[in-house]
Amino acid sequence: MKIRTLMLAATCGAAVTAAAPGAHAEDYKVVILQSLTGGAAFIGKNVAEGAAMAAEEMNENGYFGEGNRMDFEVADDATDRTQTLSLITRLAADPELLLVMGPTSGSVAMAGASVANERELPIITTTNTFEVIEAGPWSNILTQPGTVTIPYIADFAAQDLGVKNCAIIGVKDNESYVALQRKFEELVQEQGVNLASVDGVALADSDFSALATKIATSEQDCVFVGTPASQGANIILQLKQAGLDPSTAILGHNAFASPTFIEKGGAAVEDVYLIGAWVPGGDGEFGEAFAANFEAKTGIAPDEWHANGYSGMQVVASAVRDAAASEGGATRASVLAALTAQKDVPVVIGGGTYSFDEERVPHFGMRVMQVKDGEFTLVDN
């Protein structure tokens, strides 16, 4: 993908932009603001790459009408609150800018949401926290919150696997992970599953030998691990080393839907169940085409976050096109109105379509997967 450096104020860090050759009938300006560096870069870089590919394809295919195009920039929030505030403040001053796709993580999203609502600039953050929606009408979320995603794995555990006694291991020092864990606990208990134990770990922890021994010598038929991919793989590895009964079902949420989980866990994560929006290789004609095209362009297979970025840009572009066709054309206000009105936009994630409900919560579905022979394989149909 062709990009060039875009110079911003020194306090704002660097950004890159797709070259926009010459003037067009209409140029619809959007900024893809993601964590290209910092703690959330493992998500943000891939979201940005997927989103940029989608925008380039739509420009090439005349998606916005003859002579029209999306003029997009890719900027780095660096997983840093100060940099995010500086960037969004500066970007909001550009009257041509219609929308910001970002920032990435919950740690900076609220800072972005505050400025966006103050400056009346539509943003759609990668993080899925409800606080972004509650901050005001101009800030929205791209990914599904736990209230939408966790029922997929909770129902699968209780109904399909029929587990009765589940040990819980979750992150105790990150609100987003705590919320996902509590939702899982609530939903399985409602379906008659007993919580054998509930243990919290810190994001910085790496030695789980004592916890692993405790759980391995206890009675349960399920272990739910609600941590980031790398840490979860380490926990599961230590559980297996401690002698966890091989028949015990191990489950996780969509944080595990990353190549890192399999790379770090190796044979230890075989048969682990998880949820993800993206089925590797694609699920259906649109997803398969995306996977093939992405690998041809980049040399790597797309992961969960590439697919989320690609799909997110499909939704943003659909909103921009709808706004452009409305009376008065594409403005920040018309793009915002069109964005939250999007229904059944074709995407490569979940069930294949993306919609916002009346409370501005996105819905596109989740798939249950299992690690088999070192790959994520689809379980549900």
Q: Which residue has the tokens 């208990």?
A: 189
Q: Tens digits of per-residue pLDDT, 229-272? A: 999 999 999 999 999 999 999 999 998 988 889 999 999 999 99
The span from the CA of 145 to the CA of 34, in Å, is 19
Q: Which pLDDT band, with edges at 50, 70 and 90, does 380 fall under?
A: low
Average pLDDT over residues 132-147: 96
> What are residue 272's phi and psi, to 5 degrees?
-70, 140
Would you mind telling me the total number of residues written for the chain in this entry?
381
The gap from C-alpha 327 to its chain's centroid, in whole angstroms, comes to 33
The span from the CA of 120 to the CA of 105, in Å, is 21
Per cent of the chain over pLDDT 70 is 93
Q: Tens digits of per-residue pLDDT, 291-327? A: 999 999 999 999 999 999 999 999 999 999 999 999 9
User: Under a CB-based contact definition with an 8 Å cutoff, are residues 269 and 262 in contact?
Assistant: yes
Prediction pTM value = 0.87
Q: Which domains does the chain have, with CATH numbers?
A: 3-144+284-365 (3.40.50.2300), 146-276 (3.40.50.2300)
Residues whose CB is less than 8 angstroms from the CB of residue 296 and which lie 6 or more positions away in sequence, other chains included: none
Q: What is the mean pLDDT of the chain?
A: 92
Question: Is residue 6 predicted with pLDDT exceeding 80?
Answer: no
| Least confident residue range of 14-18, 37-41, 151-155, 181-185 | 14-18
The span from the CA of 372 to the CA of 114, in Å, is 43
Question: Is residue 225 predicted with pLDDT exceeding 70?
Answer: yes
Q: Tens digits of per-residue pLDDT, 40-80? A: 898 899 999 999 999 999 999 999 999 999 999 999 999 99
Q: Is 239 helix (H, G, I), strand (E, B) or coil?
A: helix
Tokens of 8: 């911003």
Q: Tens digits of per-residue pLDDT, 164-186? A: 999 999 999 888 889 999 999 99
Average pLDDT over residues 183-201: 98
| Closest among 136, 195, 132 to 169, alpha carbons compared | 195
